[in-house]
Amino acid sequence: MAMAEINRSDFNKPVYVLLYHPWLKGFEDYFAAHLAWLNENGFESISPEALILYVKGESVSIPERPLVMTFDDGTIENYTVVYPLLKRYGFTGTVFAPTAESYTSRSGKDWWKETEREGVLRMEGHSHTHSLVFINDRVEGFYTGASSEPKPPIKGMDHRLGSPLFGQGYELVETRFIPCREFVEACVDYVRKRGGEFLFGEKNWKEEMLQFVPEYPGDRGRYETEEERKARIEEELWVSKQIIEDEIGGGKKVVSFAYPFGAYHIDLIELLKKLGYKYAFNTDPGGNRQGDDPFLLKRMMILDHGSFGGIESIFKEFL
């Protein structure tokens, strides 16, 4: 398709960014169907940089039917499924990958350099641990060992039987509640004395433990200071950036970010700017137009064949 010089005076259609999670059940089938339809109907990938020039109102050459593809969480399906399908249909995309070992031990990192070198998939930031944090002193449950690390993981969680579980929120936007070690020990000790894992087989074990909580005489924990909060968030952003850049090498610079869980805050945006990020994506639906904030780029989260009424409905104004 012929390229058209786009500027603020002769183009007023939105540029849509598609968001996929390749680990979802049935993803390969509907993703392949979407690519085939987009290819048949003349849609073409543009780089995120072209999108940024567009929303800033600067002159940029983009196709008449543009789109941007993004993929969150960095799972191995990006390499085994997304990568070959994009190559087959001639599209490109961006993977936003957590960099903590809890993620990369399953997904690997050796494919990052290959997909970047081929110009098919680029790697960008999605925080280091992509985790939740405790945000208040309200005990909502206890760790039973019935499963491994919760997904998403909870930062600072104690994996001993009986460890208290407090109210949870998104790490990059919340002030963290830090449980008191003595309180955690008291809960763990209570379970141990009541038979360990056998206690969880009793009908009313949770109610029994919740009755124990208010009887504890000490503090349950404390809230981090504002300085601690900002330092923790900044570390999440910086470590992620450095790991991706070091792994890929060759002068790679991480310049974009996808907010984990779509959660963002003005303080988070300021930290991104401070660390050299140039733009960021949320999960608010809609198209991106001239004048939009480069740190609040919208994405259409595709979860199945029928999301938003189907791929045809998303791009109906281009047909």
Q: Where are the domains of the chain?
A: 3-128+241-318, 132-170+181-218
Q: Is the pTM of this model over 0.85?
A: yes
How far apart (Å, rounded) are the C-alpha atoms in residues 259 and 92? 21
Q: For residues 178 and 224, give the distance between their C-alpha atoms in angstroms, rounded to a whole number.
A: 7
Segment 221-271, tens digit of pLDDT: 999 999 999 999 999 999 999 999 999 999 999 999 999 999 999 999 999
Q: Give the pLDDT score at 246.
A: 98
224 with 91: CB under 8 angstroms?
no
What are the residue ranges in the chain where pLDDT is below 70?
1-11, 147-150
The two structure tokens encoding residue 264 = 């963002």
Q: What pLDDT sits at residue 3?
A: 44
Question: Which DSSP helix (H) or strand (E) runs through 156?
Answer: none
**Distance between CA 25 and CA 181 in Å, rounded?**
40
* pLDDT score of 147: 61
Q: What is the pLDDT of residue 161?
A: 95
pLDDT score, position 8: 42
Tokens of 258: 């996808």
Percentage, residues of the chain above pLDDT 90: 88
Q: Could you give the C-alpha distances from 238 to 28, 86, 249, in angstroms and in order?
A: 32, 29, 16
- Residue 146: what pLDDT? 72
CATH homologous superfamily for the domain 3-128+241-318 = Glycoside hydrolase/deacetylase (3.20.20.370)
Q: Residue 239 corresponds to which tokens in the numbers above?
A: 């470590």
What six digits make up the tokens of 18? Answer: 């598609």
**Which residues contact residue 17 at a Cβ distance below 8 angstroms, ignoring those fewer than 6 apart?**
51, 67, 68, 69, 70, 281, 288, 297, 298, 299, 300
Calpha distance 238→128 (Å, rounded): 8
Dihedral angle at the C-alpha atoms of 144, 149, 151, 152, nearest 10 degrees? 110
What is the structure's pLDDT at 81?
A: 98
